Structure formats: structure tokens, C-alpha cells
Structure 1
Amino acid sequence: MNKFCRSVIVLLTASISFLTVIPPTFSQQIRQINIENDWRTSDPDVPFSELVKVNNSLGNYYVVFDKNYQKYGGWITAGTELGVITRFTYDEIDIFLYRKDRCDGILGCLGATQVQQGGETIDIILGSDVFTLYGDNGTFPVSPQLRKAFQNLQGNRNMRIVINKTLNNDIGGGTVNQLTKLYSLVDSLASNSINDKIALIPVSQQEAELEKLISNIIPSVVKVQTNFGDATGFILTKNGLIITNRHVVSRSNKAQITFYDKTKVEAVVVRRDTNADIAVLSVGNLSAQLKPLPICYQKYPNLGESVIAIGNPLSLSNTITRGIVSGIRETESQTLIQTDAAVNPGNSGGPLLNKYGEVVGVVNARIGGAGIQGLGFAVSIINALDNLEMTVDKNLSGQLNNCGNPIIGIEINNPQETRPLPLLQKDLSPLPPLK
């Protein structure tokens, strides 16, 4: 095995992500196991190369474990064992590296075991295709393209994971066969319909002072808490719908919502969209008046336009950062708004807003690392609402601005009809796919 080394680029998301699923017909044959201890050891008590359902106090999820190791020496002189343990879930690939010393063929390894998380970049070679994933501390979000490749896999089933561009980890055919089953699972909340419509909210076209603008926005931003960490969301409708990232609640059907006034309520996940990384939660009809944020549903932001990100990075509630729109990026399943506004784990699900306080995106990731700064990303709100198949209720008189919202103080008498999103062509030509 090659020497372990550090990559300079990582892609970070706010929380560990797993999937609650409706298993297909083969689920009747899936073994259920309990993991009482952390699997990140050199000899975890888990089955390898088998699709299993894990039951523990933190939740249930489907997983495939793989172990690959190689021994050097150990017969005449003390040898060394180097190994890689990989955990595959629907949403993530976790890699754990270990080294055992003073190993021989009779007594095993008697020396100390050194462990380390599996780097910050991996290249997955599946047949003739290569997929590059960026992560943090050995955890890598699975892309929709990689899932699709497993679902369509035929013929050549050779698979290799190259860790940090240096360490080769071959994955056996038995594990690959189980991964085709894992990535064929279907989220039970992927097709739920949302009947609520997005109500238009009048906005001022006079650019407000930042302090006043923030004071109007903050009450609509919430903290989303699960057993796996803190993230962010914001109020979408007066009827109690809250939007966040799917990866924030992918392992749980419930979450605790903390409002700006410290009120805490339980929310139920009503929709998850894998492709756009968007989820919708419901807190029901509360006695308190909920204040949705205005949505810029009719226009992508311009390059260089000022934006604000609000969230709970590292559990620091209602942290505000500002920057500009650095680019509009297209992937196979997402339209991403690139920004240099600082975002960190915990910002996921929070709003990215323009200078009038209208939501243009839902923060979901950043790229950082040694020598790299200022690469944050948000899922376009147009992309998000389009995937959720939500409509806008335009039963409100008023002249509309470029985002499609009424302008405060200007009245007309021809309210617009309700129509599905999105409503326009993009202002920018498609840019190269996000790498």
C-alpha cells in the first residue's frame, strides 16, 4: 500500500446523512443487526460484503461494509498489517484506515494499532467510469451520478477506490453486487405531494440598511436539530412548512426546530428530494404567527450580486456572513449558486438572500482546504421548488419585481394567476459542471 497523504480540497456538508427507505422486494432477505460500538476499529463486529439493516438507538439505516488489508513480513521478523474499512450508505461513503504492528502468522498482531480517517478526496473507478468525491475526515457524500452508475451497472463490475490520489483500495465483486442493491433503494418520502402554495410577500425595492434587513430576516430562520447534529432551515409557509437540506434529515423522520425566540417544537419530515438535496418539514399550525421569507422564484441572481448567508455554523446560532454571487453552476441534477460568503458545517439548509431579503438559494456545501477559500454553494431556490413541484399563489394585487414579488407601496388591480415553478429561462448560459 502507498503512503497515506493529505489532499488539499474538501467538500463539506453540515451533517451525517443516511436514508430512510422503502425497501424493494429483496428486503425480506436483508439481515438486521445491532451495532453497540463504533465500527471504526481495525476489527469491527459487523458483516462484510453484505447489505444489512442497522438498528441502534440513533436510528435505522441500510449499509454495506467492506474490509481490505495487506500484511508485510511477519514470519521471520515482526510484520505490519495495513487495512482499509469502508462503510457504504445510500448517502455517504466512510473510509477508515488502520495499521497494526508486530504481526506474525501465529499470534497475530501484538503491537499498537494506529488509526486515521480516510482522507479528503477519493476517486471511485467503477468499470470504465471515474467519480471524484470530496469529503471531510473520511466521510464523502455520494453523488446522484454515482448512484445511477450502480443502478445501471452491467458487465464489468471491477471497482477501485483511490484515496487521496495515492492509496489504492480494491473492492471485491461480492461487495459491488450488494452496492447495486443498496443504491436501488427508494426513499419513502421522495414522492410525497405538498399541497401548500407559496404565498407572495411584498418587498421594498429600496435597499435597506444591513442591520434593518437582518432584523427582518432573522425571525424566519430556524435551527434544525437531530441526533446527528445541528443545521439550519427557514420558514417557507405560514402553515408551518420549513425547508432545509435533505442530508440534514436523511436518517430521521423527525427533528427539533428552535425558533428565534427560543421556542422549541417537533417537526415531521414530509418530503425529501435526493437530486436537489432539499427537504421539507412541517411543524403544523402553531398558535404563534409564522413569518415566511420572500422567495426569488422568477430570476437567478446576477454574477457579482451581493448576497447574505444566515445559519448555525458549528452551533453558533444566527451567524451572518455576506459576499457576492461568484457563479451559477450546473450539475446533472442541481443548479448551484456559488458564493464567497463564508459557510461552514451547520449552515446547511440556511437561506442565501439578496439585498432585498429574498431567498435565492438554500446553502448546502462548501469547498475548502489548504490554500482554498471562498467557495460556498447553495441550491437554487428555483431548482428546489421545481423539484418539490410547489406552486406560487399569486392572488395578491401589486406590481411585481424581477423576482416575482409585489413591490411595497405600488398597487394594481390585476392579480396574477397561480402557475407552477420555475417561470423563466436562465439569465446565464449553462456553465461547466461543478467539479
Structure 2
Amino acid sequence: MKVFFTLTALLLCILFSRSSSAVEQAEQLFNQLKPSLYQIKLIDKASGEKSSIGSGFQISNDGIIATNYHVISSYALHPKKYRIEYLDNQGNQGDLTLQSVDVINDLALVKRTVEQEMAFFELSNTAPHKGEQLFSLGNPHDLGMIVVPGTYNGLKKESFNDRIHFTGSINSGMSGGPVVNKTAEVVGINVATSGNSIGFLVPHDKLVTLYKNFLKSSPVSIEQQMTEQLLASQDKLITAILNSPWLAKQLGEKAMIPIIDVPFIRFGVILMRIK
């Protein structure tokens, strides 16, 4: 019995120590990175009201900020109706210009005007390993920037577009915020949640590709860029479906069900009547 209580006390000490260490590390990371974190707001020009709100983070010293496409999508579709605005950790705000988008991976690059070089987030050169502790940063429910610790659980299996399964509480308003490792390098971007501390991230390599392509050549127009991306994704999806095994299954006396064997379609069935 004495041994049991000793082991229990030791385990509790270890858990408390790890928890305290995680909180302390999260606080240090936040203080280090908060100058490069932003709240991103979409403003209706006619009413002056907020249409949407999310998060963003600077990825270059000349003012390029990454966020989710869905945060600024209304502007991308109706640029005359809305404007994009940022709010930094010191309460400063200003307008942003849309530079490039990745509709398929839900990413966007916006830019603020800067008078001098600024601190920015470094994008990781490698993907995290399963079980690695990560830190999600963002602006939930318009309450100010926070940091949420969580765990990397690999890529979501049933998804046509890559999504990281993140065990951490990503809340509304954190969309577009960065997820960093213990060395403060970005390894993902907040994008969605399923509740119960289950979140999903866009892998950082998608952002790396978008930013590199932007540096090579900025899009002629955002509308044209979105059209090309959607058509390419449509072709990719149709090709994947047509090239996958189709298994015939009997349904009643006069019907067959072709089941498409692809992981991203749970119920890929089409009913065909047999005369």
C-alpha cells in the first residue's frame, strides 16, 4: 500500500511538472511571437460593421501576412463591397491588400504597409512527428490573442485535401492563426474544429508553396487565380474517382450499387436500374 501511494504521488508530480512546463513554454512562445500575430477583420464598407473575423501571422519582414481564405473570401468575391483590416497586439490597425490565394487549401496572403523591417514567423523545413507537442495561436471569439497547446496526430485519413489532425481546442476566430513547434517554427495553420479538442490544420508545406509561387510571380487577378485552382482541383478529383476501383454490389432484385473505393468518399454510391 505504501508503494502504491508513493508511485501515485510520483506520477502526480510528473504530470504536474509536465503541465507546468507546457504552460510556461506556451507563455514564452506567445510573448516572443505576439508582435507578428494579427486579428484579421472583414469590414462592410456601407455599414462599417464586421462581416467576418479571424487571425493571421506575418511571414516576411516586408508585411506579408498569412491567413485562411475563408476569412477573406467575401472580399475576394466582392472587393468593392468590403475591405480587409488588421489589428495588432498593441491596438494599431490598418488596411490590408489581398495578394494571393489558395482556395483549395484555404489559404490567403495579405499585405500591410510597413515603414521598416518587422519580425515574422519562420516556416518549418520539416513536418512534425506523431505525438509532438504543438502550440496553436489565434483570436477566439474576439477576446484577444491566446495560445493553445495540443498534439500532432498525423494527417486526416478521410480527406481529399491534406489536413492535420490536431488535439487541441481551436475555437471560432482562431482560423488563419499559426500552429508552431517548440522552436517557434510554423508547422500548420488553424482551419477547422470538430469540438471536444479535435481540430484540423492546413499543413505548412501548402503555405510554403503558395508563398514561393507568389514570390516568383504574383497573380494577374485573384478571380482568374481562383478559377484556375478550382478547375484543376475538379480535374484531379474526377480523375481520382474514375481511376479508383468500382465494386458492384447487389441491391434488391433490380438494382446494383457501384461502390467507389476511395478514402475521401464515405458513401460513394450510384444506383443503376437493371431492366
Give the TM bin, normalised by the shorter chain.
0.5 to 0.7
Corresponding letter in the other structure for 1:291:
A
Deviations 1:158-211 (A, max 9, x none): xxxxxxxxxxxxxxxxxxxxxxxxxxxxxxxxxxxxxxxxxxxxxxxxxx9433
User: Is residue 2:192 matched to residue 1:365?
Assistant: yes
Corresponding letter in the other structure for 2:33:
I
Q: CA 1:325–1:392 in structure 2 vs 1: closer, same or farther (change >3 Å)?
A: farther
- Moved segments of 4+, more than 4 Å: 432-435
SS in structure 2 opposite 1:301?
Answer: coil
> What TM-score, normalized by structure 2, do the two folds share?
0.62
User: Is residue 2:108 matched to residue 1:279?
Assistant: yes
Q: Is the 8 A contact 1:245 1:348 kept in 2?
A: yes
Q: Is the 8 A contact 1:335 1:383 kept in 2?
A: no
- The corresponding residue for 1:259 is 88
- Summarize the alignment of residues 222-301 of structure 1 with structure 2, pairs less than 5 Å apart: 222-227=38-43, 228-252=51-75, 253=79, 254-284=83-113, 286-296=114-124, 298-301=125-128
1:219 deviates by 1.2
Percent identity, please. 24
Q: CA 1:377–1:353 in structure 2 vs 1: closer, same or farther (change >3 Å)?
A: same
- The corresponding residue for 1:354 is 181
Q: Is the 8 A contact 1:363 1:378 kept in 2?
A: yes
- Summarize the alignment of residues 154-233 of structure 1 with structure 2, pairs less than 5 Å apart: 209-227=25-43, 228-233=51-56
* Alpha-carbon separation, structure 2, partners of 1:316 and 1:385: 29
Q: CA 1:389–1:289 in structure 2 vs 1: closer, same or farther (change >3 Å)?
A: closer
More strand as a share of residues: 1
2:170 to 337, 343, 346: 343
Gaps of 5+ in 1: 1-207, 394-431
More helix as a share of residues: 2
SS in structure 1 opposite 2:209?
Answer: helix
* Alpha-carbon separation, structure 2, partners of 1:289 and 1:265: 17
- The corresponding residue for 2:152 is 325
- Summarize the alignment of residues 68-79 of structure 1 with structure 2, pairs less than 5 Å apart: none
> What TM-score, normalized by structure 1, do the two folds share?
0.40
Corresponding letter in the other structure for 1:311:
G
Corresponding letter in the other structure for 2:203:
S
1:384 deviates by 2.4
* Alpha-carbon separation, structure 2, partners of 1:339 and 1:301: 11
Corresponding letter in the other structure for 1:321:
V
- The corresponding residue for 1:312 is 139
Corresponding letter in the other structure for 1:385:
V
Q: Is the 8 A contact 1:329 1:434 kept in 2?
A: no
User: If you compute each CA radius of gyration, which structure gives the higher value, 1 or 2?
Assistant: 1
SS in structure 1 opposite 2:122?
Answer: coil
1:241 deviates by 0.5
1:287 deviates by 2.0
1:271 deviates by 1.0
Q: How much is the aligned-residue C-alpha RMSD, in angstroms?
A: 2.4
Q: CA 1:256–1:287 in structure 2 vs 1: closer, same or farther (change >3 Å)?
A: same
Deviations 1:192-249 (A, max 9, x none): xxxxxxxxxxxxxxxx943322211111110001131211000011111100000100
